Amino acid sequence: MELRELATLPGVAGNEKEVRDAIMKELATMGVQFETDVLGNVVARKGNTGPKVLVDAHMDEVGLMIVYIEKNGFLRFAAVGVPASVLLSKRVYIGKDKVPGVIGAKAIHLQQPKERETVIPVDQIFIDTGAKSKEEAEKKVKVGDYAVFDTEYEELSPGVVKSKALDDRVGCMLLFEVLKEEWEGIRLHAVFATQEEIGTRGARISSYRVGPDMGIALEGTICADIPLADKDSYATRLGGGAVVSVMDRSSIPNRSMVDQLVKLARDNSIPFQFREATSGGNDAGAIQAARAGCPVASLSVPCRYIHTPFAVMSQNDFDAAKALLIAFLKSVEGGFRP
Amino acid sequence: MKDLVRKVTEAFGPSGAEDAVREVIRKEVQPYVDEIRVDALGNLIAHKKGNGGKKVILDGHMDEIGLMVTRIDDDGFLRFGTIGGVNPFTSLAQRVYFGNGTVGVIGSERVDEPKDLKMEKLFIDIGAKDRKEAEAKVRVGDSCAFLQPFVDMGDRIVAKAMDDRVACAAIIETLKGLTTNHDIYAVFATQEEVGLRGARAAAFGIEPDVGIALDVTPTGDTPKGRSANVSLGKGAAIKVMDRSIICHPALKNYMVKIAEEKGIKHQLEVLEMGGTDAGAIQMTRAGIPAGVISIPCRYVHSPCEMVDMNDYENCVKLTKALCESPLTF
């Protein structure tokens, strides 16, 4: 499976079906054993002996949900993980039938001076599908339908990719890379999780079911190495290598796992960087809290502009994260324990 | 008694880095229990075997607030994230120390107004002249604690990490010479300050019948301070509720009853902010009756936390009396 295909599929939190179906199809083709659970997580397994190692990436992405259809056919929506400041003048498509729509903004001529300078809140903007009435809109859209950004996957520069949903389809791609390998001496549980963006809900259930001995969350993470930003607020750098977390709002990764990742990166000359920020959270928190607890770590690929209609990532960082993840899992096969 | 409090408050152990304090506590508690284990999240679980009684958790968290290095800049200054509730006003110009003994001072970027003093304006200076020298002493991901000596003021004592080492000491004190039919699991929990994380895992693993957390609670007895019922020196505080828990009413009433029967000085506590491990214990599995005995403490979450030894002794007495009671409520 290619990142292009996986990242282009719609999968706003709570509506991961198309992504899940594609993942299950790919797993079946690969001949990998898997199961699903009541929250829609997919858990693929490899290896029959040794510690249970749960490696998690989430399938869901940020996006919109239709909450109300106006008399004149305009759609009101709730935003899932996207700030209002990036919504105006974007193209979206809605629901199973991929109904096209645009998020309209008043033309500059009609805006009051104050309106030009302030962010218009989500409850004052709308999606226009061209429908002239509620009745016409209801023929193609229902309340509760999800909308995703209509963003083309493109290679902006050699090895630098722009796409929607890199957070966290890039993690899902890392899971596939791990599942291509043969594993003995660990019981690998690769979890494609749902509903991370609305509170790590899928991972909570999948980790409870698996009851792992250790866990790793794979992410597309914040990266702000952009003009005018202070170096102190970059968090990560594009092209700076695999990202190792030391703390965020959901977990403090296990120190010996962090040390092991750093050692393996250095020993194998794999480019890596620390995540120089503590904001945000991910599935590692949910994995750590499952049952009587387990040590966790978090490994990421830097993605500029996440939680907007598109993000930008580097293939080199992906390759580094892949190499470091596989080296880590091999070291667990070789006897490493947190 | 003061010596035990001194020893445990002086140990190093911000959330997620509790190794050093765990060893100090292990050594102190070992003589009074039958077995000791450390679980996957680093909780130290000391078990005193009972004889047909209830399974009781006595929880005190061993982690303390602190700072974690997130970035080392070219000039050798350290930027950091906060571990637990740390505010810029109590941090500025403090000294901090790392697990390996490295000491730093907290400085600030220029701010024109005191209200502009935000955590992200602060940095740690470990006296390094450049990045290379800093990296030889400290790594991203290393955490540090405030550096303040234990001071004996008489009845009252002041130290860093009184939250919640004073409770760890009280639990150890309780176990000394305790005779009970109950199975007592003393849980010295990790990562309370970042979201009651250790206690949740420990409670799941132990599956107790009753959970009692011991923690410090802020007081309302300082000049123009917040309005709170609790005062230093007025006895063990029996918690009614905080943001994490409404204490099991029957257990809370039982605590009051036992305190009255035994003539143990106590006061009731309602905390409109903050939470305790009891909140995590209560929500474990299908739910566990949980309550809290609080040790009144001034200046909580500052490097200078003050408690009164009389309150401490009353908390020990009450905890002991509860463990020796049938715990039928």
Name the nearest CA neighbour of B235 among B294, B164, B162, B321: B294
One-letter amino acid for residue A75 of the chain = L
CB-CB: which of B79, B81, B201 is closest to A293? B201
A14 touches chain B (CB under 8 A): no
Predicted pLDDT at A116: 83
A291 and B204 in contact by Cβ < 8 A? yes
Active site residue A197: no
Last-in-domain residue among B146, B173, B199: B146
- A contacts of B194 (beta carbons < 8 Å): 252
Around Cβ B326, how many Cβ atoms within 10 Å? 10
pTM of the model: 0.94
Asked if residue B153 is part of any domain, the answer here is: no
- B contacts of A289 (beta carbons < 8 Å): 197, 200-201
A278 and B68 in contact by Cβ < 8 A? yes
- Is residue B107 domain-shared with residue B210, that is, in the same domain? no
B17 and A255 in contact by Cβ < 8 A? yes
Asked if residue B178 is part of any domain, the answer here is: yes
CB-CB: which of B39, B73, B194 is closest to A293? B39
Size of the A and B interface in Cβ pairs below 8 Å: 72
Digitized pLDDT (tens) for each residue of chain A, 338 residues in all: 999 999 999 999 999 999 999 999 999 999 999 999 999 999 999 999 999 999 999 999 999 999 999 999 999 999 989 999 999 999 999 999 999 999 987 788 888 888 888 888 888 899 999 999 999 999 999 999 999 999 999 999 999 999 999 999 999 999 999 999 999 999 999 999 999 999 999 999 999 999 999 999 999 999 999 998 888 899 999 999 999 999 999 999 999 999 999 999 999 999 999 999 999 999 999 999 999 999 999 999 999 999 999 999 999 999 999 999 999 999 999 999 99
Last-in-domain residue among B121, B146, B171: B146
A53 touches chain B (CB under 8 A): no
Q: The tokens 């008043």 sit on which residue?
A: A106
B191 touches chain A (CB under 8 A): yes
- A contacts of B120 (beta carbons < 8 Å): 232
| Cα B141 to Cα A253, A302, B4, B71, B203, distances in angstroms | 9, 18, 30, 9, 28
Q: Distance between CA A278 and CA B81 in Å, rounded?
A: 6
Asked if B275 contacts B281 with a C-beta cutoff of 8 angstroms, the reply is: no
> Which structural domain range is residue B275 located in?
2-64+160-324
Q: Residues 18-77, chain B: which have Cβ within 8 Å of A?
A: 39-41, 68-71, 73
A289 and B39 in contact by Cβ < 8 A? no
Q: Distance between CA A14 and CA B260 in Å, rounded?
A: 53
- Is residue B223 domain-shared with residue B235, that is, in the same domain? yes
- A contacts of B98 (beta carbons < 8 Å): none
Q: Where are the beta strands (DSSP E) in A275-326?
A: 296-302, 311-314
A231 and B40 in contact by Cβ < 8 A? no
φ, ψ for residue A198 (rounded to 5)?
-115, 25
For B84, the closest chain A residue by CA position comes to A249
Q: pLDDT tens across B142-171, in order?
A: 999 999 999 999 999 999 999 999 999 999
Residues 6+ apart with CB under 8 A from B118: B88
Predicted pLDDT at B295: 98
Q: Where are the beta strands (DSSP E) in chain A?
A: 33-36, 42-46, 52-58, 63-69, 75-80, 91-94, 99-103, 127-128, 146-149, 154-157, 160-163, 187-193, 214-221, 242-244, 272-274, 296-302, 311-314
Residues of chain A with CATH 2.40.30.40: 63-149
- Is residue B196 domain-shared with residue B299, that is, in the same domain? yes
- Is residue B210 domain-shared with residue B317, that is, in the same domain? yes
Q: Which CATH number applies to A63-149? A: 2.40.30.40
Residues of chain A with CATH 3.40.630.10: 3-61+164-333
For B201, the closest chain A residue by CA position comes to A292
Q: Residues 240-279, chain A: which have Cβ within 8 Å of B?
A: 246-247, 251-252, 255, 258, 274-278
B201 and A276 in contact by Cβ < 8 A? no
Predicted pLDDT at A124: 87
- Is residue B113 domain-shared with residue B211, that is, in the same domain? no
CB-CB: which of B39, B70, B202 is closest to A278? B70
CATH number for position B97: 2.40.30.40
Averaged in consecutive runs of 10 residues, what is the pLDDT profile of chain B (329 residues)?
97 98 98 98 98 97 98 97 96 97 97 94 98 98 97 98 98 97 98 97 98 97 91 97 96 98 98 94 97 98 97 98 97
Last-in-domain residue among B146, B169, B186: B146
CB-CB: which of B40, B70, B141 is closest to A292? B40
Categorise residue A117: left if φ over 0, alpha if ψ from -120 to 50, beta otherwise.
alpha
Residues 6+ apart with CB under 8 A from B97: B12, B103, B104, B144, B145, B147
- A contacts of B70 (beta carbons < 8 Å): 246-247, 274-278
Three-state DSSP class for B56?
A: strand
B119 touches chain A (CB under 8 A): no
- B contacts of A288 (beta carbons < 8 Å): 41, 197, 201
- Is residue B78 domain-shared with residue B135, that is, in the same domain? yes
- Is residue B58 domain-shared with residue B17, that is, in the same domain? yes
Name the nearest CA neighbour of A61 among A247, A193, A184: A193
Around Cβ A168, how many Cβ atoms within 10 Å? 33
φ, ψ for residue B96 (rounded to 5)?
-125, 160
- Is residue B102 domain-shared with residue B203, that is, in the same domain? no
CB-CB: which of B69, B83, B201 is closest to A289? B201
- Is residue B268 domain-shared with residue B178, that is, in the same domain? yes
Q: Distance between CA B150 and CA B304 in Å, rounded?
A: 9
Structure tokens at B272: 């409109």
B254: enclosing H helix or E strand: helix B249-261
CB-CB: which of A231, A246, A251 is closest to B140? A246
- In a 10 Å sphere around its CB, with 0-12 CB exposed, 13-18 middle and 19+ buried, how is residue B3 labelled? exposed
| Angle made by CA atoms A91, A97, A102, in degrees to the nearest 5 | 15
Q: The tokens 């997620």 sit on which residue?
A: B16
Mutation choice for B interface testing from A204, A247, A251, A298 by most B CBs within 10 A: A247
Predicted pLDDT at A88: 92
Q: How far is B208 from chain A (nearest CA, A)?
A: 13
A150 touches chain B (CB under 8 A): no
Range list of H helices, A131-193: 134-138, 166-180
CB-CB: which of B15, B197, B205 is closest to A288? B197
Asked if residue B154 is part of any domain, the answer here is: no
- Is residue B109 domain-shared with residue B129, that is, in the same domain? yes
- B contacts of A277 (beta carbons < 8 Å): 70, 81
Q: Distance between CA A302 and CA B267 in Å, rounded?
A: 52
Predicted pLDDT at B53: 97
A247 and B41 in contact by Cβ < 8 A? no
Counted residue by residue, chain A has a size of 338
A295 and B39 in contact by Cβ < 8 A? no
Asked if A227 contacts A92 with a C-beta cutoff of 8 angstroms, the reply is: no
- Is residue B140 domain-shared with residue B41, that is, in the same domain? no
Structure tokens at B316: 């020990």
Q: How far is B285 from chain A (nearest CA, A)?
A: 9
**Given the residues A61, A196, A219, A333, the one annotated as active site:** A196
| Cα B88 to Cα B63, B85, B93, B113, distances in angstroms | 20, 10, 10, 13
Domain count, chain B: 2
Asked if A299 contacts A321 with a C-beta cutoff of 8 angstroms, the reply is: yes
Three-state DSSP class for B43?
A: coil
Q: How far is A293 from chain B (nearest CA, A)?
A: 5
CB-CB: which of B40, B70, B197 is closest to A277? B70
| Cα B79 to Cα A224, A277, B67, B125, distances in angstroms | 16, 9, 9, 9
Please give the positions of B annotated as active site.
192
Asked if A184 contacts A333 with a C-beta cutoff of 8 angstroms, the reply is: yes
CATH code 1.10.10.10 for A3-61+164-333: no
Counted residue by residue, chain B has a size of 329
Predicted pLDDT at A104: 86
- In a 10 Å sphere around its CB, with 0-12 CB exposed, 13-18 middle and 19+ buried, how is residue A89 labelled? exposed
A180 touches chain B (CB under 8 A): no
- Is residue B129 domain-shared with residue B217, that is, in the same domain? no
Q: How far is A138 from chain B (nearest CA, A)?
A: 43
CATH number for position B173: 3.40.630.10
